[in-house]
Amino acid sequence: MPDTNSLKSDQNDCVMPVRSANPIRARSLIRDNLEKQAGCLNLIHSRMPNIKVFSGTSHPDLAQRIVDRLGIDLGKVVTKKFSNLETCVEIGESVRGEDVYIVQSGSGEINDNLMELLIMINACKIASASRVTAVIPCFPYARQDKKDKEFSPRQYTSRAPISAKLVANMLSVAGADHIITMDLHASQIQGFFDIPVDNLYAEPAVLKWIKENIPEWKNSIIVSPDAGGAKRVTSIADRLNVEFALIHKERKKANEVASMVLVGDVKDKIAILVDDMADTCGTIVHAADRLVEAGATKVYAILTHGIFSGPAISRINNACFEAVVVTNTIPQDGHMRDCPKIQCIDVSMMFAEAVRRTHNGESVSYLFSNVPY
């Protein structure tokens, strides 16, 4: 907090009495006086930046890491539920004219957390916040981004929802002015919004982890567990100067893989599976088995969003992974206790730097290829 006496002293220094019989001289003195007062206001503003960061209930640990990195305190907010399970949010401090950032990930009880985020955005907006940015590390409903026949191989249905578009509309209507997220399941989701969306990438942190934790990484091969992730793995393979492969999969229905075909040579190499998310982990476990059958010496899995629902933890424990590496866009403490193979990459510094750059009107492009340590 700024020193009150020093601020008063600065303000007094800015006061300049205008006394002159010459009208031209008087106007000059008035102009000088106004310029000094403007400079004084800028000084006060620089000492008290108008930024507030609030956390929802989905991932308070990540929000705390972000504000620790920024050197500010987490905003005060109280979230509770009525007896009929309606969500109630009370913002505990003034946000008038402030640049507000709300951290809420699409994990856990997704529907409740999404509703909580919408209410927090609206509460800040009607409390006269100058700008409200939703920081959503894991975007909810991102897999429902198009009408698809994937789960009905013999029939294309026009009655499938595009829920990611619905979520985008809800965020915009609630009052969000800006979205910051990471590794969207499909990049075209950015086009669902009429407001700016910054889609950060975990790739720089993944590259750093590979170089620091896999000694024989130069003899590795980057593998995508499905054709949709080919662009992601080729980017990582190019930056590591290693080869890549992909696995073509067919599904009988949601969360159930029917068959897998490996495209590429993994014999006598360290296979590194890379994907944006893993839910029940059926895909990556089947892929790991397929890679071992094809002659891979070791298998790692690196995932941005480790959802790990249903039988995921038991499947990983029984699989042939050396390690399953995820980021902390979703809370992982419980998963790491239940499964020693799971390791976590902290990406809070990337979100903190994105918040800082957005607040100061700077470009965030630097974060697309660098880790801001």
Q: What is the DSSP string of 169-238?
A: HHHHHHT--EEEEES-SSGGGGGG-SS-EEEE-SHHHHHHHHHHH-TTGGGEEEEESSGGGHHHHHHHHH
Percent of the chain whose pLDDT exceeds 70:
82
CA distances from 225 to 47, 276, 296 (A): 50, 10, 15
| pLDDT mean over 207-214 | 95
Whether the per-residue pLDDT at 40 is higher than 80: the answer is no
**What is the overall mean pLDDT for the chain?**
86
pLDDT value at residue 260: 79
Helix, strand, coil fractions of the chain, as percent rounded to 5:
40, 25, 35
**Which three-class secondary structure state does DSSP give residue 337?**
helix
Whether the per-residue pLDDT at 6 is higher than 50: the answer is no
Whether the per-residue pLDDT at 4 is higher than 60: the answer is no
Domains of the chain plus CATH, in order, are: 51-200 (3.40.50.2020), 204-345 (3.40.50.2020)
Looking at the chain, the number of H-run helices and the number of E-run strands are 11, 14
Q: Quickly count: other Cβ atoms within 10 Å of residue 132's Cβ.
A: 26
Q: How does pLDDT run across 7-22, given as a tens digit for each residue?
A: 444 444 444 444 445 5
HSE-up (13 A, CA, CB side) for residue 46: 6
| pLDDT mean over 34-44 | 47
pLDDT value at residue 251: 59
Whether the per-residue pLDDT at 348 is higher than 80: the answer is yes
pLDDT value at residue 49: 63
pLDDT value at residue 261: 85
pLDDT value at residue 111: 95
Closest CA to 359 of 153, 133, 89: 133
pLDDT value at residue 8: 43
pLDDT value at residue 228: 82
Whether the per-residue pLDDT at 169 is higher than 90: the answer is yes
pLDDT value at residue 31: 59
**Which three-class secondary structure state does DSSP give residue 253?**
strand
| pLDDT mean over 223-243 | 91
Whether the per-residue pLDDT at 108 is higher than 60: the answer is yes
Q: How does pLDDT run across 281-334, given as a tens digit for each residue?
A: 998 999 999 999 999 999 999 999 999 999 999 999 999 999 999 999 999 999
Q: How does pLDDT run across 79-93, given as a tens digit for each residue?
A: 999 999 999 999 999
Pick the residue with more confidence: 26 or 296? Answer: 296
Q: Which long-range contacts (CB under 8 A, 24 or more apart) does 49-52 make?
A: 49/359, 50/97, 50/98, 50/99, 50/130, 51/98, 51/99, 51/100, 51/101, 51/355, 51/359, 52/93, 52/95, 52/98, 52/99, 52/100, 52/101, 52/129
pLDDT value at residue 226: 85
Closest CA to 313 of 279, 345, 275, 276: 279
| pLDDT mean over 157-182 | 92
CA distances from 346 to 16, 325, 328, 342, 371 (A): 52, 11, 6, 13, 11
pLDDT value at residue 54: 97
pLDDT value at residue 227: 82
Residue in the structure block whose two tokens are 């590429």: 264
